[in-house]
Amino acid sequence: MAAQDTTAGAQPIRLRAEGRRWGEDVVKGLLALCALVSVATTIGIIIALLEPSIEFFREVSIVDFFSGERWAPLFEPASFGVRPLLAGTFAVTFWACVVALPLGLGAAVYLSEYARPHVRNTLKPALEVLAGIPTVVFGFFALTFFTPLLQDFGIGVGIFNVLSAGLVMGVMLIPTVASISEDAMAAVPRELRDGAFGLGASKLQVATRIVIPAAVSGIVASYVLAISRAVGETMIVLIAAGGIAQLTADPREPAQTMTAFIGATGLGDVPTGSLEYKTIFAVGLSLFVITFFMNIISIRLVRKYREIYE
Amino acid sequence: MSAIPAPLGQRPRGDKVRGTIFYVLLLISVAVGFIVLFTLIVDVVQKGIGYIDPLFFTEPNNPTNPQEAGAKPAILGTIYLMVLLLMFVVPIGVGTAIYLEEYADRERWYNRLLELNIQNLAAVPSIVYGILGLAFLVRGLGLGRVLLAGALILTLLVLPTVIVASREAIRSVPDSIRQGAYALGATQWQVVRRQVLPAAIPGIATGSILALARAIGETAPLLLVGALTYVTVDPSLLGSFTALPVQIYQWIARPQEEFRYLAAAGIMVLLAILLTMNAFAIWLRNRYQRRW
Amino acid sequence: MPDMESAPAAPATIAGLDEKILTERREAVSRTRRDVLFDVDGLTVSYADVPALKNVSLEIYKNFLTAFIGPSGCGKSTFIRCFNRMNDLIPTASVEGKILYHGTDLYGHEVDSVEVRKRIGMVFQKPNPFPKSIYDNVAFGPRILGWKRELDDRVERALRNAALWDEVKNRLKSSAYGLSGGQQQRLCIARCLAVEPDVLLMDEPASALDPISTTAIEDLMHTLKRDYTIVIVTHNMQQAARVADMTAFFSVEVDEEQDRRTGILVEYDETPTIFTNPGDKRTEDYVTGRFG
C-alpha cells in the first residue's frame, strides 16, 4: 500500500542532519587523543630505557653485566657486574615478604572471616591510611627509630642495613596484600562456607581449608603485586639500606638495591652520555623488565579469580 | 552407638586451643600495622614538634645552620606541583575515561590493548617515571630540572589512578539516564556532557583528590627530575624547584642530628597536608554520593 | 452486541472487558479517516545475526493509538524501538526492511538517527527522570535543540499537556526524584512533549506503576491522541482494549531444531475486532487467555 503523506501544508520532513555533525567527530578525536597519552607514556618509557641501554651494552658485555659480582661504575677500573644490586633488591624484598605475606594474609582472614561488619568497616579504611603514608616517611622511621630499636634489642645491625629497610617495607605492604586478598575471599560464595559449617567444621578449618583455597588466585595475585612493589620501591632503601653495593647474605649489613642505585646516581651530577649515566638506564631496564613480568602475572591472576565468581 | 566419644556440646580441647591461637595470630596480624602506624606518628611528632614554628614556614633551607632552616620553597613547590597536576591530570584522565566508557568499542583489539596498557602503567615503579622524565624532559627536551618537568612526570605517574577512578564514576551512572537523553534526540556528546559527566563528577572529584594526595608524597621521580640539593629561591614554572618530600629526604641524608628533627617537622607538615586532602575527599564522597 | 454472541469462533471474551467501550471504539475508529504515518515493510531485526523479529509489515495511522500486544519474548519492545532507531545503540543489532515515515525510509542512508529521535519521542517502562530539577528535566530537550527563548513557557505547556503542571508548579526547582512513580512517568512524558514531536512511543508505560497512576496515564493517552500519534507496547490486554484504536498481536515462532525463538506479527486490526472477532486462532487463544 502506498504511503500517503496527507499532512497538508506540513514542512517537508527532513531527517538528515544539517552538516555532518563535525563537532561529534572532533570530540571523539580529542578524547582518543587523551587516551593516546597513556600509550605515549609506555612507548616513551620503553624508548627511554632501551636507547641508552643498547649503547651501554655495546661497551659493557651483557655477560659481564649479569654475571659480574662487583658493581663499581665510578671506580677506576670500573666494574659493571649487576649482581650485587640484584642481590640487594632480592634481600630487601625477601625480608619485606617475611612480614607482608603472612601478616597481610592474616589481616585479610581476620577481616573477611572473623570481624563483625562494623569492625571491618572501620578497620579496612584505617588500614588504607597505612598505605597512604609516603615512602620517605617510612624510610625516616626505619632509619631513625627502627634501626636503633633493633640495635637496642641486641641485633647488631649497622646504621644502614637490609633488615630494617626490609621489615619496615613489609609493614608498608601489609595493606596491599590484605586488601586484595580480602576482596578475593569476600568473593567466595556463602554457600561454600555454609556447607562446611553445616558439617561441623570450626572457623579455623573453614578459613584455612575452604576459603583460602577458594581464593588462592586472588591471594597469589596480591603476593605478586606486593613483591613487585617491593622490588620497585626506592625511598625506604635509599634512606635506610645504604649505598654500598655488595653481595652479602647478612641482613645486618648495608646493601644497595637497583632502585637505590638509580636514585643516588640520578641525584648526582653525572655527565650526560657518559657510561656512568647510561648505567641508570641499564639498571632501570632490568628493573622494568622484572616488574613488568610480575605485573602481567598479577593481572592474569586477578582476572582468573574474578572470572570464577562473577 | 555413636562414634562420637565426647559428650555433645563440648568441642575437644585441642580444637579450641588451636582455634584460639589462630585467632590471636590473626589479631596480631591486624595489630602490627596499627602499632607501627601509631608508633611512627608519635615518633615523628616527638622529634619534629620542636621545630615547627613560623620560621619553618618562612625560611628557605640552610644546609649549614639547621637552626635557621625552613621549608618555604619546599612547601611552595609542593603546592605549585599540586596545582599544575590538577590542571594536567584531570582533563587527560577524565577524557581517557570518557573515551573508554562511552566511545570505544570493547571488541576492538586496540581498545583492549589500551586498557591493558593502563593497568600495566599503574604498577610501574615510580622511579622508572623519573627515568622517563630524565631522558625526555630534562636532558632530551632540554627543559632542565624545572618545576614543569616535575609536574609533567607526576601527571603521567598518577594518570592511571585518575583514569580508573573516573571510569568507575562514569560506569555507575545508570544506563536508563543515557537512554532517556538519547530518546530526546541528543547527540552522543550531548548525552555525555549534559547527563553522564555531571552525574559522575562527585566520584571523579574524590578519585582525583586521592590520586593527587598520592602524588604529593612521591619522592623518587622528583629526585631524578629535579629537585636540587640547595634551593633558596621560591619555585617558578621554568626554574629550579624543590618539593616537601624531597626536602625531607635531603634533611634525613645529612649527618647532623638536628637535621633529623627538621625532617620530622617536614614530615608533620606533609602528613597534615595529606590528612586534609584525604578527609576532604571522603567528605566529598559522603556528601555528594548518589544512591541510584 | 449481537455480533459477539453469534460468532462461534470467539466464544469467550476477556474478563473485565467493557463491551460498551469496545462498541464506542469500533464506531469511533470506523468514522476516522486513516492517514498513514508509518509504513513498515518486511522489517526484520537481528541480534548478532540471529533474527529476533521477522518480516513485519503494517501501517501506523496518524492520530491513532496503536497497541502492540503479545507474550513475552515476541519482540514487541524490539519493534517499537525501531521507530526511533533506539536499536542503533545496541552494537550487535541489525535491521533489514523499511519503515517509511512521511515517505522517507527511517533506515535510509542519509537519515540521521538524532534527527529521527527529535521527532519521534519515547517513554520507557521504568520512569527515568534525570538527576536534575523538574524544570531542568523538561527543559533538557529544548535546550539541546537550541530553543533557548521562551523556555519557561515551553516547560509550562509541556507540563500542562502531561497533566502534571498543577502538582508541580510550585516546586519546579526541586529534584525530580522527589516525585512519586506516577508523577515521574508523567514528567518523562512532559519531557518528550517539550520537543514537540509527531509521535510518542511508549514501551509499557504503566507497568511499573500502581493502578491509580495507571489510570491517570491512560486518561492522558486519550487526551494526547488528539495532537500526537501514539504507539504503545503493553502486556495488559485490558489496557489495550481500553485505549487503543488499532492493535497488533505478536507471537513467537519456535524453531525446535535450531533452538530459536523468533517474533512474528500474527494479526493487526481494529481493536474491537482483535478482541472479539479475531481472524487468527493464535490471536484468539491469546486474548481469551488460553496461553500467553
Q: Which of C42, C46, C4, C37 is nearest to C22 (CA)?
A: C4
Whether C145 and chain B come into contact, CB under 8 Å, resolves to yes
Nearest to A234 among B34, B126, B248 (CB): B126
| Residue C162 pLDDT > 70 | yes
Measured between CB atoms, which of A38, A51, A234 is closest to B121? A38
Task: Report the C-alpha gap between B202 and A224 in whole angstroms.
Answer: 33
Grouping H, G, I as helix, E, B as strand and the rest as coil, residue C191 is helix
Of C100, C106, C110, the CB nearest to A3: C100
Backbone angles phi, psi at C266, to 5 degrees: -95, -50
Q: Please report residues of C whose CB lies closer than 8 A to that of B105.
A: 91
Residues of C in contact with A15 (CB under 8 A): 101, 104, 106, 108, 110-112, 115-116, 119
Q: Å from A260 to nearest chain B CA?
A: 9
Bigger pLDDT: B230 or C95? C95
Q: CA-nearest residue of chain C to B187?
A: C114
| Packed helices B109-121 and A275-309: angle between N→C axes, nearest 10 degrees | 110
Q: pLDDT at residue A11 above 70?
A: no
Residues near A266 by Cβ (< 8 Å), separated by ≥ 6?
A280, B130, B131, B134, B223, B224
- pLDDT for res A10: 43
Query: What whole-number percentage of chain C has pLDDT above 90?
Result: 59
The answer to whether residue C48 neighbours chain A at the CB level (below 8 Å) is no
At B36 the pLDDT is 94
Tell me which of A51-55, A288-292, A306-310, C24-28 is least confident.
Answer: A306-310
Q: Is B199 on the interface with C (CB under 8 A)?
A: yes
Residue B140: predicted pLDDT: 66
- Mutation target for C interface from B175, B182, B184: give the one with most C CBs within 10 A: B184
Q: Does A159 touch chain B (CB under 8 A)?
A: no
Residues of A in contact with B160 (CB under 8 A): 38
Residues of chain C contacting residue B104, judged by C-beta atoms under 8 Å apart: none
Q: Give C46-82 as a 3 state SS string.
A: EECCEEEEEEEEEEEECCCEEEEECCCCCCHHHHHCC
C21 lies within 8 A of chain A by CB: no
Residue A70, pLDDT score: 85
CB contacts under 8 A, B 145-204 vs A, are 156, 159-160, 163, 187-189
What is the residue-averaged pLDDT of chain A? 87
> Does C144 lie at the interface with B, CB-CB under 8 angstroms?
yes
- Given a contact cutoff of 8 angstroms between Cβ atoms, the answer to whether C95 and C87 are in contact is yes
Report the pLDDT value the prediction gives residue B5, as an integer from 0 to 100.
52
Scanning every residue of chain C, which has its alpha carbon at the shortest distance from the alpha carbon of B189? C144
How many A/B residue pairs have CB atoms within 8 Å? 250
Name subunits touching A (3+ CB pairs < 8 A). Answer: B, C
Quick: pLDDT tens for B198-235: 999 999 999 999 999 999 999 999 988 876 656 667 77
What nine digits make up the cell of B102?
562511552
Q: Which of B10, B37, B223 to mutate to test the interface with A (most CBs of A within 10 A)?
A: B223
pLDDT of A6 reads 40
Q: What is the predicted pLDDT for the residue at B102?
A: 92
Grid cell for residue C79: 519493534
Q: In Å, how far are B127, B222, C253 from B123, measured between CA atoms?
A: 11, 18, 53
| Interchain CB contact of A292 with B (< 8 Å) | yes
Please spell the DSSP secondary structure of B228-290, one letter per residue: -S---SPP-TTS----HHHHHHHHHTSSSHHHHHHHHHHHHHHHHHHHHHHHHHHHHHHHH--
What pLDDT shows up at residue A79?
83
pLDDT score recorded for residue A246: 85
Mean pLDDT of C36-48: 93
pLDDT 10s digits, A229-270: 999 999 999 999 988 888 888 888 899 999 999 998 888 777
DSSP states of chain B: --S--SPTT---HHHHHHHHHHHHHHHHHHHHHHHHHHHHHHHHHHHHGGG-SHHHHHS---SS-GGG---HHHHHHHHHHHHHHHHHHHHHHHHHHHIIIII--TTSHHHHHHHHHHHHHTTS-HHHHHHHHIIIIIIIS---S-HHHHHHHHHHHHHHHHHHHHHHHHHTS-HHHHHHHHHTT--HHHHIIIIIHHHHHHHHHHHHHHHHHHHHT--HHHHHHT--S---SPP-TTS----HHHHHHHHHTSSSHHHHHHHHHHHHHHHHHHHHHHHHHHHHHHHH----
Q: What is the dihedral of CA B74, B78, B81, B86, to 10 degrees?
A: -170
ipTM of the complex: 0.90
Judged by CB atoms closer than 8 Å, whether chains meet at A231 and B36 is answered as: no
pLDDT greater than 60 at residue A32: yes
Give, as one character, the DSSP assignment of residue C147: -
- The pLDDT of residue C45 is above 90: yes
Q: Of chain C residues 166-205, which have a CB less than 8 A from chain B?
A: 188, 191-192, 195
Distance separating alpha carbons of residues C64 and C33, to the nearest angstrom: 10
Classify C288 as helix, strand or coil: coil
When pLDDT is cut at 50, 70 and 90, the band that residue C4 belongs to is: very low
Task: Supply the pLDDT for residue B229.
Answer: 58
pLDDT per residue over A161-217, tens digit each? 999 999 999 999 999 999 999 999 998 888 888 888 888 888 888 898 889 988 998
Mark the ranges of chain B whose per-residue pLDDT is less than 50: 1-2
Res. A20: pLDDT tops 80: no
Cis before A77? omega within 30: yes
Chain B residues 173-192 with a CB less than 8 Å from chain C: 174, 176-177, 179-187, 190
Q: Are A4 and C100 inside 8 Å of each other by CB? A: no
Strand C260-270 vs strand C50-61: parallel, antiparallel, or unpaired? parallel
